[in-house]
Structure 1
Amino acid sequence: MKYQNIASMGLALLSSAATVSASPLVLRGNSGVCPKGYSPTVITMSVPITATPTPVAIEEPTSTPSTPAPVTDSETQTPIQIETSSPVGYVAAIPSSTTEASVPETTQAAVVVTTSSSQAPAVHAAVPTTSSVTEEAAVSQTPVAQSKQASVSSSSGGSSGEATFYGGNVAGGTCSFSGYTIPSNLFGTAFSGAVWDNAAKCGSCVAVTGPNGKTIKAMIVDKCPECAEGHFDLFQDAFAELSDISAGVIDITYSAVSCDLEGPLKLKNKEGTSAYWFSMQVVNANEPVTKLEVSTDGGSNWQSTTRTDYNFFENSSGFGTDSVTVRVTGESGTTVVVKNVGSEAGSEITAGSNL
């Protein structure tokens, strides 16, 4: 047996291996010399030590990594005390699933663990705040969007569009309402040429709400050829009710409404009408007129007419008689029948009811 004792040993822990160096030996006893036949020896030994820290989850920052087994002298079985000369660090990737908020899969929290021989790892977590910010923004925006949607719905109740104004034209307008006066409770407007549809909306009414929150009712009496769908060219007095005229163009909401006219509708023959050329107009109807039919046998059989772009229902050959029965159908399907209608040019007859 060798009479040797390791007095001190220094160990440097680098990555996964450590090197241990022994200083000159200190002899046993008080003699100060080696026993006869022995001499002092310096031993240098390398002891591989693998440090495998236990992954640390962010919920358990105080967990302690496993401690390596004690190192002993293979011959003397003397425990060798190891001290780390420098801290060992590693980075653990903490998945975002450790939090309840929804975080993108690529998001990770960096955790740096410092080890020492006498204390539990110190955990330094850098957790991105993207998830909490995103969640908070989503919650705060929801009521705003709902409030805005509710405001639009309650304030308009119709379609969005825009309005301009012009001097107004009833007698010379494309609806050909010559000699007709708009009732005092209504304003006038020109309708979009893009959806004119052969004067299908002539004489009908729209409710228009302007940026000042005020709503007016206007009758369609003219055509605006250059206006897109939803664009109304209001008479100037109508525009002034919704905004200062200096604005020129304003945003509006609009919807079709009943004109609520007093009295029955009227039938008016165009100049030049005769038994051999039929051209008739419907005036003062409470809703848009969809068709006008003519019977020459008191209503047993009906013949159709063609609506023109200038708001007359015509038959180029006429019906061959001086008197006919006329049936007017409104957009709702309501009909009004008028008997004994003459074919004289420019004549006008009043019906017994309205649509």
Structure 2
Amino acid sequence: MLSRTAITFASAALPLVFGSPVANIAPGVSPRDGVSGTSTFYGGNLNGGACSFTTMSSLPSGIYGTAFSGSSWDNAANCGACLEVTGPSGNSITVMVVDKCPECDAGHLDLFQDAFAVLGATSAGELATSYTPVACPITSPLVLHNKSGTSAYWFSMQVVNHGSPVASLEVSTDGGATWQATTRSDYNFFENQSGFGKDTVDVRVTSTGGKSVVVNGVSVTSDSSVTAAGNF
């Protein structure tokens, strides 16, 4: 059961790096600084994507989906991140990284088909695009979700619905006096193979921007979820 959520700011922001500097993608179009390249599209895979967002029935309003570059996957570090993608005509959309494109280079996004269709004709198959990281337009609280099999002796937790990319998830078993690190898996869960020996723990999630959300009294019951009182 959730007892309290605290939101704090770290003293320094952590860098968020997605790829190489942007160049103009078409005559007369000057996108924001970011990463230039191309975008293709596919049918889209939210629940079965590499970010393992199985508890999300749909994307937040106003956000489209994309698979992200395999060459920049960085052990799922960009899962849940939002990007502003600019098309060849200068129009832009916001997308969330929910899947992995193993063959895509740093400038290549594989968009959900509905996202691609906003930027250009699907008959083109590929578009010149650029993208830049932005905060997700999410106002509801973030959610902590335990993987099936989680217990006091094997810890695996995911952060869902976060407004900024997650840099770390730490656990305290002594009321916040000390914090223990977890290791992010390639399928976007933060894990400790030995667990923490407790049925409930305190959890501190920190964004790449250095902002932290602390949730106290989180159960480690298998496949359970708890909603925090805030977001990044």
Partner of residue 64, structure 1? none
Structure (1/2) with the larger helix percentage: 1
Which of 109, 114, 138 lines up with 1:232 in the alignment? 109
* Cα distance, 1:149–1:170 mapped onto 2, change above 3 Å: closer
Write the letter of the residue equivalent to 1:175.
C
Write the letter of the residue equivalent to 1:198.
N
Which of 126, 132, 136 lines up with 1:259 in the alignment? 136
The answer to whether residue 228 in structure 2 is matched with residue 314 in structure 1 is: no
Gaps of 5+ in 2: 1-24
Distance apart, 1:155 and its partner CA: 3.6
Query: What is the aligned-residue identity percentage?
Result: 59
1:104-253 equivalent positions in 2, closer than 5 A: 151=28, 154-180=30-56, 181-253=58-130
Tell me the secondary structure at the aligned position of residue 118 of structure 2: helix
Deviations 1:284-310 (A, max 9, x none): 000000000000001001100000000
Which of 222, 225, 229 lines up with 1:348 in the alignment? 225
Partner Cα separation in structure 1 for residue 52 and residue 179 of structure 2: 26
Question: Larger Cα Rg: Structure 1 or Structure 2?
Answer: 1
Give the TM-score, by structure 1 length: 0.57
Write the letter of the residue equivalent to 2:59.
I
* Cα distance, 1:167–1:150 mapped onto 2, change above 3 Å: closer
Write the letter of the residue equivalent to 1:324.
V
Tell me the secondary structure at the aligned position of residue 240 of structure 1: helix
Partner Cα separation in structure 1 for residue 78 and residue 33 of structure 2: 20
Partner Cα separation in structure 1 for residue 184 and residue 161 of structure 2: 17
Q: Kindly indicate whether the alpha-carbon contact (under 8 Å) linking 2:26 and 2:88 is maintained by their aligned counterparts in 1.
A: no
What CA RMSD, in Å, does the superposition of the two structures yield over aligned residues? 1.6
Deviations 1:229-288 (A, max 9, x none): 111000000000111111111110110001120211010000000000000000000000
Distance apart, 1:318 and its partner CA: 0.3
Distance apart, 1:150 and its partner CA: 10
Higher relative contact order (CA 8 A, sep 6+): 2
The answer to whether residue 158 in structure 2 is matched with residue 281 in structure 1 is: yes
Partner Cα separation in structure 1 for residue 157 and residue 98 of structure 2: 17
Gaps of 5+ in 1: 1-147
Write the letter of the residue equivalent to 1:160.
S
* Cα distance, 1:191–1:243 mapped onto 2, change above 3 Å: same
Partner Cα separation in structure 1 for residue 26 and residue 78 of structure 2: 30
Greater than 2 Å deviation, 4+ residue runs: 148-152, 154-159
Q: Structure 1 stretch 209-218 or stretch 280-289: which is displaced more?
A: 209-218
Which of 138, 145, 168 lines up with 1:268 in the alignment? 145
Tell me the secondary structure at the aligned position of residue 241 of structure 1: helix
Deviations 1:206-225 (A, max 9, x none): 00011122101001100001
Tell me the secondary structure at the aligned position of residue 176 of structure 1: coil
Write the letter of the residue equivalent to 1:248.
G
Tell me the secondary structure at the aligned position of residue 61 of structure 2: coil
Partner Cα separation in structure 2 for residue 342 and residue 149 of structure 1: 52
Tell me the secondary structure at the aligned position of residue 206 of structure 1: strand
Distance apart, 1:200 and its partner CA: 0.4
Which of 158, 165, 170 lines up with 1:293 in the alignment? 170
Give the TM-score, by structure 2 length: 0.86
Give the number of equivalent residue pairs: 207
